[in-house]
Structure 1
Amino acid sequence: MASHAAAATPADTTGVTPGQPANDHPAGWSWSTEPLPTRHGIIVVLRLGGEIDMLNQPELQTALTDTLTGRPHHLVVDLAAVTFCWVQGLVLLADTAEIATGNGTGYALSGLPAPIRRHVTLLWGDAFPTTYRTTAIAVSTIRADHTR
């Protein structure tokens, strides 16, 4: 099971691995990983939930870093259950695209709630990482791109 604290163990490649928010952070913040094996490697879906703010941004950083450390073929960050994301959280998500690319990992965001999507559009326009309406669309598109 992955943990947000100091030393996290890699995600189990057989199913969903929930993240555990630290006790001093607000309830409602959560994350989990779901590895999806493909012929070309693992697509990891990192599902985030609740509010992303300055109190749990270090945990978001850890979740992203730990997930990329496993060198998945592709990382999809699912934001469908996120109710708030402060601008520094969006910056972190955008910066992670560069890190993923440097590691040879594909990177996309999915399920951006309308208010977050509006902020992304205002701040980054087309320069923000690839986004998909849903995680299902993201995963099926990634899989289809690898069969060509």
Structure 2
Amino acid sequence: MVQHDHGLTVTLRSHSARVHVLVVAGDLDHHTGPRLRAALDELTLAPRDGLVVDLSGLTFCDSTGISLLVAAHRRAQDAGAALALAGLDPDIAHVFKIMGLDRLFSSYESTEKAAAALE
């Protein structure tokens, strides 16, 4: 599944039987947020599953994007699953830290490291 919407690409792939990877690339804002929301809504997480959100291709993220990521984290927790971020741009990571989101999200430099942590 690959969807394009105003410069945002969201691709879902399986890393393993229990770990899913959602690759988000481009600008994540109030215009493109519905594309990520739809991809997250299509995803079914079971207890002990893991979801890696690969943000290495993310070029911009506004408050709408942050809200969607926080909602995805809550949804994973409610399902008994774990969510980790991978490849966060240093500037975006800095904004996350200022907002205290570095305490909410586990973040890894690569999808492989995040997936290994969730296995």
TM-score for the superposition, normalised by structure 1:
0.72
What's the offset of the Cα at 1:63?
1.1
SS of residue matched to 2:99: helix
For these two proteins, the number of residue pairs brought into alignment is 118
Corresponding residue number in structure 2 for 1:102: 78
What's the offset of the Cα at 1:66?
1.3
Identity over aligned pairs, percent: 29
The unaligned stretches of length 5 or more in structure 1 are 1-16, 144-148
What's the offset of the Cα at 1:126?
4.0
Contact 2:45 2:79 in 1 (8 A): no
Contact 2:10 2:35 in 1 (8 A): no
**Whose strand fraction is larger, Structure 1's or Structure 2's?**
2
User: Which entry has the higher C-alpha Rg, 1 or 2?
Assistant: 1
* Root-mean-square deviation over aligned CA pairs: 1.7
In structure 1, distance between residues paired with 2:45 and 2:86: 20
Q: 1:139 to 1:88 in 2, by over 3 A?
A: same
After superposing on structure 2, the runs of 4+ consecutive aligned residues of structure 1 that deviate more than 3 Å are none
In structure 2, distance between residues paired with 1:142 and 1:66: 21
Q: Which structure has more RCO (C-alpha within 8 Å, separation ≥ 6)?
A: 2
TM-score for the superposition, normalised by structure 2:
0.88
